[in-house]
Structure 1
Amino acid sequence: MRTIFVTGFPGFLASALIPTLVQRKASPRRVDCIVLPHLLDSAHQRAQEISTKADCEIRVFAGDITDIRLGMGNEYGVVTKECSEIFHLAAIYDLAVAKDVAERVNVDGTRNVLAFATDCPELDRFHHISTCYVSGRFDGVFRENDLQTGQAFSNHYESTKFESEVLVHDAASSGLPTTIYRPSIVSGDSHTGRTQKMDGPYFFVQWMLAQPRIAVMPVFAGSREATMNIVPSDYITAAIATLSTGRDRPLRVYSLADPSPLTIPALTQLLAHATGRRVLRVPATRWLASALIRSVSHLHPDMDIPGEAVNYLAHPTHYDCSNTLQDLEGSGVACPPFAEYVDRLVGFVRDESGFGRRRL
C-alpha cells in the first residue's frame, strides 16, 4: 500500500495538514508519522481523532530525525518500502534557539530525512516545508528562485533553515523530485484564531493586551517602512495540499506569503483596534526595543516574547510569490487579508491565556 510519510507530528501544522493531504484526488489513505518517544501518547490520541474524521489510517512510529535511519530500528525498512511521498515539517521554530540545537534538528535532521528518501523505492516526491526567512535580511524583493544571495541572518533559526534548504536543493539537483514551500510568519487558523504555540503575530497581540488602555510601541530606524508578512495556518495547509499535486517539474519552490503584506504602522493600528488599545509610539534603537521587550516579558506570567522578535519590526525583505499565485489560480485557495481575521486571533489569546484581564 502506498503511503505518505510525515515528520513534525503531532505538531500543529502537521496535524492540520494530514486531513487535507488525504482528501486530494487519488491520494494514499495511509499516513506514517515519525514521532519523538516522549510524544507518543499525545500522537496516538491525535492520530485517532484525525483518522476518524478524515477516514484514513495513521500509523505512528517512535523515532528521531536527528538519528541515523531516523532512529526507527527494524521499522525503517517497513516504512521506506511503501512510502510514495514525504512531507518534511519537523524543525525547531524558535527565534532564540541555540546554534547547536538548531543545527542538529534543522540541518542534520533534514540530511537524515533526505537519506531516508533515497531508501524509498516507490517515492514520487519529496516535499520540504522551509520558510521565507531563508532570505535572512536580504534588502529588496526575494524571489522564489533565489536562495544563496550572500544574505546575513538575524538568528540561528533563519541560518539553519537556510542550510537545510541548500541540502534539499542539492538533492533535487541530483535527481530527487522536490517541492519546497516557504511560509512567511504563520498565525493560527483564520476562522478560529486557534494555534498551538503563541508566537509570530501573537507576540504582538500579547504585548498590546498586557498594557492597560495605552500600549507603548517602540519605533526605530526601518520600522515605519517595513512590512510584516503574516499568513494563517489554514491557508498554508490548503496551499500545500493543492500545490503538492503538481508533478510536472523536477523542482518547484513556492513562497506561501501574503502578496499584499501590511506595513508595521498599518499592522499596529489593526492590532490596536482589535485589542481596544491606543498606541503610544516611542522612539528607540533596536537594542533598546529588544531590551524593553525582554524586561517586560519577565514581568508577566504568561508572556514569553523573545527580544529577537524586534528584528521583524524592521525586516527589509519583500517576498515574491509569483509561482504560488500562478499555480493556485482557479483552485479557490487564496491568502485572506490579515484584517479579516485579526479579531479571531485576539479573541483566542484572550480566551486561552487571560491576557487583557491580567495586566502589568
Structure 2
Amino acid sequence: MSEQSRDPTVFLTGFPGFLGSALLERLLERGDEPVVCLIQPQYRSQAETRAETLRQRLELPSDSIQLLEGDITEPDLECGDALEGLSSVHTCYHLAAVYDLAIDLGLAEAVNVRGTDHVLDAAETLDVERFQYVSTCYVSGRYDGVFTESHLEEGQSFNNYYEATKYRAEVLVQERMEAGLPATIYRPAIVVGDSETGETGKYDGPYYLLRLLLEQPRACSLTVSLPGSNDTELNVVPRDFVIDAIAHLSARDDTVGEVYQLCDPTPLTIPRFVDVLASAMDHRVCSVPTPKSVAGPLLGALERVGLPAEPATIDYFDHPTRYACPNTQRALAGTGIECPPFESYVDELVAFVRENPVIGSDAMV
C-alpha cells in the first residue's frame, strides 16, 4: 500500500469480487471511508481499475480506496509491518472465500477456514469495534428440516467441501463472538445477479441449469429431476438484496452479536423454479426422472464435452434443508428491504446471460 494522506477506518476482504465490489460501493456512498481493501497480487490490475471506476462515479478523492496486497491464507495476512499501521481501522468486513461447489479440500481449508482464522486474528490485533462476517445459509449442510439463525452445530453432513469449510469458519467466528468479539454474521442463500440489471460476476450455481437449457432447442429442452425433488426448495437471492441488507444491518449498533440469514422466505420448489426459468427463456422444458446415481455422471459427461454442467449441483436437486429468517425479518421490518420473488427478476437474469455469454464460472482464488 502506498503512502496515503488519510488513515483508513474500514478494512475489507473480498475485493474486487462480485459481492465485495458492490458492498464497497455502498460503504463509500454512505461515507465510510477511507477503506483499505486486502487484495491478492494477481488481482491488482483488476482491483485498480474497479477502484478508479468507483472513485470517479462517486466523485471521491484518490485515497478513499486504498489497496493492500496480502494473503488471508498466511499469518498476519502476509502484510508484514503494514498491518500494524492500520490502527485507525474500526470496522472489518470479511467477505473473501472460495465459492466453488467442486473445490478440493486443501484449498477450501486454506482460504475458508485458516483464512477466516487469520482475519479474525488481525481484527483482534487491530482491536476493531465491529467485525462483519459473510457466511452462507449452507453451513446447514444437509440438515433435515427448517434451518434458522439459531442453528449451526447440528451434527449435519455436507454436500461438498465448500459447505463444510464455511461451516467450520462460522464456528470459529461464533467462538470469538462468545469470547467478546463484537461481530455480526450474515448468511446469504444462493446469490444470483442483480434484480434490476441481471448483472453477475460469474456463472455458477443455478446458472449451470439456465445456460444448459439455453444451449438446447426452444421446442424441447431437457433437464433431470430426482426422486423427491418435487418438495425440494431452491433458495436464491439477488445480489442487491444481500448488499442492501448487509449495508443496513452493519450500520446499526443493535445487530452486534446477531446472525442474519439473507434468504428468500418463500422460495420456489425445484419443479416450479424450472418452470419459471422455462417461461422466461421461452423454452419448452421437459424434466426427465433420473436416479441420482445416473444424474451426476450424466452431468459430468456433459461437462467433459464442453457444455455448461457441474455434477456437484445435483446434490441441490434433493437438498433436504429449508431456510427461515425470523431474525432478519424482525430486523428489516419497516425498512423496505426484502427479498423480491424470483419471478419478478428472472427475466433480467436470463437477458444478462444471453447478452454476456462469455462470463466464466471460475472462482477467484
The TM tier, using the shorter chain, reads over 0.9
CA distance in 2, matches of 1:83, 1:286: 49
Which residue of the other structure, out of 310, 317, 320, is the alignment partner of 2:314? 310
Match of 2:66 in 1: 59
Off by >3 Å, runs of 4+ in structure 1: none
Match of 2:362 in 1: none
Which residue of the other structure, out of 333, 336, 341, is the alignment partner of 1:329? 333
Which residue of the other structure, out of 161, 169, 173, is the alignment partner of 1:164? 169
Match of 1:75 in 2: 82
Q: Is the 8 A contact 2:9 2:32 kept in 1?
A: yes
Give CA deviations for 1:19-68 in whole Å, capped at 9, x if unaligned: 212334xx532111000011111111111111222344000011000011
Structure-to-structure mapping, 1:42-53, within 5 angstroms:
42-53=46-57
CA distance in 1, matches of 2:279, 2:194: 20
Q: Is the 8 A contact 2:299 2:311 kept in 1?
A: yes
Match of 1:88 in 2: 94
Match of 2:208 in 1: 203
Match of 1:358 in 2: none
CA distance in 2, matches of 1:143, 1:95: 22
Over aligned residue pairs, what C-alpha RMSD do you find? Answer: 1.4
Match for 1:148: what amino acid? E
Match for 2:309: what amino acid? I
Match of 1:219 in 2: 225
Aligned identity (percent) is: 44
CA distance in 2, matches of 1:142, 1:204: 25
Which residue of the other structure, out of 86, 89, 98, is the alignment partner of 2:104? 98
CA distance in 1, matches of 2:150, 2:8: 31
Structure-to-structure mapping, 1:1-360, within 5 angstroms:
1=7, 3-24=9-30, 27-56=31-60, 57-79=64-86, 81-121=87-127, 123-213=128-218, 214-248=220-254, 250-300=256-306, 303-353=307-357
Unaligned runs of at least 5 residues, structure 2: 1-6, 360-365
Q: Secondary structure of 2:259's partner?
A: strand
Give CA deviations for 1:225-283 in whole Å, capped at 9, x if unaligned: 10100000011111100011222354100000001000111111011111121122211
Match for 2:34: what amino acid? R
Matched positions, count: 349
CA distance in 2, matches of 1:45, 1:233: 21
**TM-score in terms of structure 2 length:** 0.93
Q: Is the 8 A contact 1:125 1:177 kept in 2?
A: yes
Closer, same or farther in 2 for the Cα pair 1:100/1:279, shift >3 Å? same
Match for 1:222: what amino acid? G
Give CA deviations for 1:298-356 in whole Å, capped at 9, x if unaligned: 333xx44320101111111111111111111121211111001111111111111179x
Match for 1:277: what amino acid? H
Q: Is the 8 A contact 1:2 1:28 kept in 2?
A: no
Q: Is the 8 A contact 1:172 1:250 kept in 2?
A: no
Match for 1:191: what amino acid? E
